[in-house]
A and B are shown apart, each in its own frame.
Chain A
Amino acid sequence: MHDTGTAHSHGPDHGHAGAHGHDAGHGGHHEPGFLRTWVFSVDHKVIGMQYAVTGLLFLMFGFCLMMLMRWQLAYPGEPVAWLGAILGEARMPGGVMLPEFYNELGAMHGTIMVFLGVVPLAVGGFGNFVVPLQIGAPDMAFPRINMMSYQAYLLGGVTMLASFFVPGGAAQSGWTSYSPLAALAGSGQTWWLIGMVLLITSSLLGAINFIVTIVQLRTKGLTFFRFPFFVWAQFVTSFLLLLAFPPLEAAGVLQLMDRLAGTSFFMPSGLVVSGQALDISGGGNPLLWQHLFWFLAHPEVYVLILPALGIVAEIIANNTRKPLFGYRIMVWSLIFLGFTSFIVWAHHMFMTGMGTVMSAFFQTTTMIISIPSVIILTSLMLSLWGGSIRFNTPMLFALAFLPMFGIGGLTGLPLGLNITDIPLHDTYYVIAHFHYVVAPGTIFALFAGIYHWFPKATGRAMNETLGKIHFWPSFIFMNVVFMPMFIVGLAGVSRRLYDGGLTYDFARPVLHWNAVSSWGAWMLGLAQVPFIINFFWSIRHGRKVDRNPWQATTLEWAAPSPPPHGNFETEPVVHRGPYEYSVPGAKTDYLPQCDAAEAR
C-alpha cells in the first residue's frame, strides 16, 4: 500500500461527505477514477460493500429460482404460458417445467444461496466492512489480496450463472453433487466444479486476511477479551473456512478428474447405469465424496451461523443498553463450537451404511456440539432480561432471529440421533430444519446487520417505517413457508421429488400444504419490495446521521460516517470492554471503548 493521503487530512465530520466520502482525504493527490474507487478498490469498506451488494443480488436470484420451483411443487404440471415464453422450450415447453430444469433449479438454488449469497454477505460483506473498524485498524492486513478475493468470488459467480446456458443446462445433482450421479451428469457439472474452485480460492484468501488482520492490526489496548463478539465470530469463522474448504477443493479436483480424465475415484467397480455396465476402471468409493464434501459442508453450516450470531449479539447489546450476558462463556462456547464442528460431519451420512460404530461416534459429537450453541442462544435471550429495549428495525430482526434459530436448532436434534434420523432423512423435515437455521435465522440476522450498519456505510439511516413494513410480513411469511414443511416431512415426503409427492398415496393427506408453502414464498418475495425501495432510497435521501447514531460502544462508531480511506482520524486507543452500557455512576448510559475519561 502506498500512502495516498492520510485520515488526518479528512475534513470536518458532519456525518456525510458525499457518495465518495472515502476519497475526501486525498488532498493534493489525484482523485482515483471510477474503476479504482468502485471496481478495483483496495479499501476494505468498498470491498465489503461490493461483497454485500453482489451477495444480496445472488440471494435474490437464488430466491427467484426457488419461487419457480414452488410453482411446480404446488401445482405440478400446470402450465404457465408466460414463463414458458421467457425460459424457452428447452426448459419449460408450453409453460410446463421439465424435470431436468427442476433439478437445475434445485441444485443451483442451494449452491447460490450458500456459496454465493449468505457466506459472501455475512463474511465478505459484514466481515470486511465491520471487522477492521471494530478493531481500530486502518484497513485489512493485505488490501490487494482482499481485492483479489472479491474478484475470484465474482468470477466464480459468473461461472455458475454461465452454466445455465451451456448445453444440457446447469448442474443438476443437488448442491451436494453426490457421485456417481454428478460424475455422469451433463457439462453443467464441470462448470459447477470450476466455479467452486474459484469460490474456494476466494474464501481462502479472505480467511487468511481476516485472521492476520484480527491478530496483527487490532489497536492499542484491544486485548482479545475486549473484542466485540462479532469480531470473535469472524475470527472463528475464518479458521473454519481456512481448514475446511481445502478438502472440498481436493474432492472437486478428484471429481473433475473423474469427469474429464476418466478416472474412477468415486466410481465403484461394476457400476451399471440404465442396464449398461460402464466402461470404467472402477475401484473408487462413492462414500469418499460424501466424506470429503461434508468435511467442508458441516463446518460451512457454522460459517453460515457464527457471523449471524455475532451480528445479533452486537445489536442486542446495543438496543437493550446492557452488557451481553456471559460474554466470556459465549466466546469460549464459540471457540469450542469451532473445534467440534470438524468432528460431526458424518451425521449427514447415517443412512449410507457406514457402520454403527461410526454412527455412534458422530451421534455423540453431534449431541455435544449442541451444548455450546444452546449456551450462546441462551445467553442472548438472557441479555434481554431487565434491558430497556429499543424496538427499532435492526432490533426487531435480531429478536426474531432468536426463536427462529431456536426452532431450527431444536428440530435438528432428532436428525442428529441415528435412530430418529432414519424416518426423517431426506424428507421435507430436513428442509424445514436447516432453512429455519439459515433463512429466518441467518438471513434475518443479515437484514438486522444491514439496518444496523447502513448509517456507518452511507452516513444516512434507513427509513424506520419501511423497515417495519419489511419486517412484519417477512416474519409472518417465513413461517408460512417453512412451518408446513415440518408437517409434510413428518408424513414422509422426500425432499427431491419433482411433483412434490403427487404419485405417493401416503403423501395425499399433506399435499395441500405444498400450496401453502408456495404462496408463503411468493408473498415473502413481495415482502422484500419495501426493503429494496428503502435500501436505494436511503442511500441518497435517508436521514443524515452523525458518527454514532445508535449510541453504541464499539470502535466502528468512533469513526466518521462514512469512514474515509484509512478509517480513523487518529489511531483509537481502547480502555475498556466492548459492552459497557448503563454503567452505574457514568454520565451517559454507554461508555465507548475508546473513551478514556471515565476509566474504571
Chain B
Amino acid sequence: MEIPWVVTARQDTGLNNGKIGIWLFLASEVMLFGALFATYILLRVGAPTWPLGSSILNVPMATFNTVVLISSSVTMVMAWASVMRRRFAAYRGYMGATVVLGFVFLVVKYFEYSAKFHHELFPRTNTFLAIYFTLTGLHMLHVIGGMAVNAWFWGPGARLYHENPEWFANRVENSGLFWHFVDLVWIFLFPVLYLL
C-alpha cells in the first residue's frame, strides 16, 4: 500500500500532503499564541499600572537574540536551497548553523532568566513578569522543538537525501516553515514585552 501525494503534488490542489499538514499546524499555533497575546492585552488594559518592559528586562540582550533568530531563519532558507540544488555539503553546513544559532538563543535566554531570578523577579512577582515568563517560556519550548527536528534532519534524518532527495527537500521545507514561524513569534514578542 502506498499513500499518494507524499512526495509529489496532487494536481488539483498543487500541494503535497506534508505541506498542507504543516500549514494547518501553523494555523493552530497562531490560535495558541493569539490566545496568549489576547490574554496579554486583556490583562494590561485591566491593570491600574503596567511597567515599561525596558525598565525590568534587558533590551540589548533581547536585541542580540533577535538578530540571532533572524540569522537562523536565513541559514534555514539557505539549507533548503542547498538541498534543492542538490549540494549536500552546503546543506549540512547551513543546517548545522541553524541549530547552533538556536542554541545561542537559548544560552542568551538562560542568562536573562537567571539574572531575573537572581534579583528575586519570579513569575509570581507581578502580572507583567507572569506573562513574560509564560510567553517566552512557551516560545523557548517551540525553539527547542524546532531545534530537535532540525538536528534530526542534519544528522540521521539526512539519510533520506540519498534515497529520495525530493522528499527530503519537502521535509526540510516544512521544518523550515515551522522555524520561520517560531522566529516570527519572537518578532512579535520582542517589541510587545521589551519595548512597549
| Min C-beta distance of A352 to chain B, whole Å | 14
B34-42, B81-89, B108-116: which lies at the interface: B34-42
In the complex, whether A557 has a CB less than 8 A from a CB of chain B is no
| Min C-beta distance of A217 to chain B, whole Å | 6
In the complex, whether B4 has a CB less than 8 A from a CB of chain A is yes
CB–CB A246/B28 < 8 A:
yes
Given A138-B2, A254-B134, A283 and B35 touching (CB < 8 A)? no
CB–CB B35/A215 < 8 A:
no
Tell me which of A5, A204, A212, A295 contacts B1 (CB under 8 A): A5
Residue numbers in A under 8 Å from B194 (CB-CB) = none
Listed residue (A215, A216, A284) with the most chain B CB atoms within 10 angstroms of its CB: A216
Q: Bound complex: CA of A263 vs CA of B43, how far in Å?
A: 13
Q: Bound complex: CA of A280 vs CA of B123, how far in Å?
A: 11
CB–CB A247/B31 < 8 A:
yes
Tell me which of A143, A208, A247, A254 contacts B3 (CB under 8 A): A143
In the complex, whether A11 has a CB less than 8 A from a CB of chain B is no
| Min C-beta distance of B154 to chain A, whole Å | 21
Among A282-296, those with CB < 8 Å from B are: 283-285, 288, 292, 295
In the complex, whether B166 has a CB less than 8 A from a CB of chain A is no
Tell me which of B5, B6, B29, B123 contacts A246 (CB under 8 A): B29
In the complex, whether A486 has a CB less than 8 A from a CB of chain B is no
CB–CB A249/B32 < 8 A:
yes
In the complex, whether B124 has a CB less than 8 A from a CB of chain A is yes
In the complex, whether B157 has a CB less than 8 A from a CB of chain A is no
CB–CB A215/B1 < 8 A:
no
Q: Bound complex: CA of A58 vs CA of B42, how far in Å?
A: 37
Among A182-232, those with CB < 8 Å from B are: 204, 207-209, 211-212, 215-217
Listed residue (B31, B42, B47) with the most chain A CB atoms within 10 angstroms of its CB: B31
In the complex, whether A265 has a CB less than 8 A from a CB of chain B is yes
Among A240-272, those with CB < 8 Å from B are: 242-247, 249-251, 253-254, 257, 261-265
CB–CB A261/B124 < 8 A:
yes
Listed residue (A5, A138, A212, A257) with the most chain B CB atoms within 10 angstroms of its CB: A212
Count of interface residues, chain A, beta-carbon cutoff 8 Å: 47
Among B16-46, those with CB < 8 Å from A are: 16-17, 20-21, 24-25, 27-29, 31-36, 39, 42-43, 46
CB–CB A288/B43 < 8 A:
yes
In the complex, whether A565 has a CB less than 8 A from a CB of chain B is yes
Q: Bound complex: CA of A281 vs CA of B120, how far in Å?
A: 14
In the complex, whether B10 has a CB less than 8 A from a CB of chain A is yes
Residue numbers in B under 8 Å from A505 (CB-CB) = none
Q: Bound complex: CA of A253 vs CA of B142, how far in Å?
A: 14
CB–CB B24/A211 < 8 A:
yes
Tell me which of A208, A253, A264, A295 contacts B21 (CB under 8 A): A208
CB–CB A246/B1 < 8 A:
no
Q: Bound complex: CA of A366 vs CA of B39, how far in Å?
A: 24
Residue numbers in A under 8 Å from B35 (CB-CB) = 246-247, 250-251, 292, 295
Tell me which of B6, B33, B43 contacts A283 (CB under 8 A): B43
Given A243-B28, A243-B31, A283-B43, A261 and B4 touching (CB < 8 A)? no
In the complex, whether B13 has a CB less than 8 A from a CB of chain A is yes
Q: With CB as the reference atom, state the residue of chain A lying closest to B1.
A: A566
Q: Bound complex: CA of A1 vs CA of B6, how far in Å?
A: 10
| Min C-beta distance of A93 to chain B, whole Å | 37
| Min C-beta distance of B131 to chain A, whole Å | 8
In the complex, whether B164 has a CB less than 8 A from a CB of chain A is no
In the complex, whether A141 has a CB less than 8 A from a CB of chain B is yes
| Min C-beta distance of A301 to chain B, whole Å | 18
In the complex, whether B130 has a CB less than 8 A from a CB of chain A is yes
Q: With CB as the reference atom, state the residue of chain A lying closest to B17.
A: A141
Count of interface residues, chain B, beta-carbon cutoff 8 Å: 40
Residue numbers in B under 8 Å from A565 (CB-CB) = 1
CB–CB B1/A138 < 8 A:
yes
In the complex, whether B107 has a CB less than 8 A from a CB of chain A is no
Q: Bound complex: CA of A215 vs CA of B17, how far in Å?
A: 9
In the complex, whether A513 has a CB less than 8 A from a CB of chain B is no
Q: With CB as the reference atom, state the residue of chain B lying closest to A566.
A: B1
Given A242-B27, A284-B127, A285-B46, A141 and B21 touching (CB < 8 A)? yes
CB–CB B130/A216 < 8 A:
no
Q: Bound complex: CA of A208 vs CA of B174, how far in Å?
A: 14
Q: Bound complex: CA of A285 vs CA of B35, how far in Å?
A: 14
CB–CB A263/B31 < 8 A:
no
Residue numbers in B under 8 Å from A265 (CB-CB) = 39, 43, 127, 130-131, 134
Residue numbers in A under 8 Å from B43 (CB-CB) = 265, 283-285, 288
CB–CB B27/A142 < 8 A:
no
In the complex, whether B133 has a CB less than 8 A from a CB of chain A is yes
Residue numbers in A under 8 Å from B133 (CB-CB) = 257, 261
In the complex, whether B55 has a CB less than 8 A from a CB of chain A is no
Q: With CB as the reference atom, state the residue of chain B lying closest to A209.
A: B21
Listed residue (B1, B21, B131) with the most chain A CB atoms within 10 angstroms of its CB: B1
CB–CB A216/B127 < 8 A:
no
* Chain B interface residues (CB < 8 Å from chain A): 1-6, 10, 13, 15-17, 20-21, 24-25, 27-29, 31-36, 39, 42-43, 46-47, 122-127, 130-131, 133-134, 138
Known: A141-B3, A141-B21, A264-B130. 8 other contacts (CB 8 A): A212-B24, A261-B123, A263-B124, A264-B127, A265-B131, A281-B130, A284-B43, A295-B35
**Between-chain CB contacts (< 8 Å), 8 pairs:** A1-B3, A215-B20, A242-B27, A245-B28, A262-B123, A263-B130, A265-B39, A281-B130
Top-9 shortest CB links A-B: A262-B124, A566-B1, A247-B35, A263-B130, A246-B32, A246-B31, A250-B35, A283-B127, A261-B123
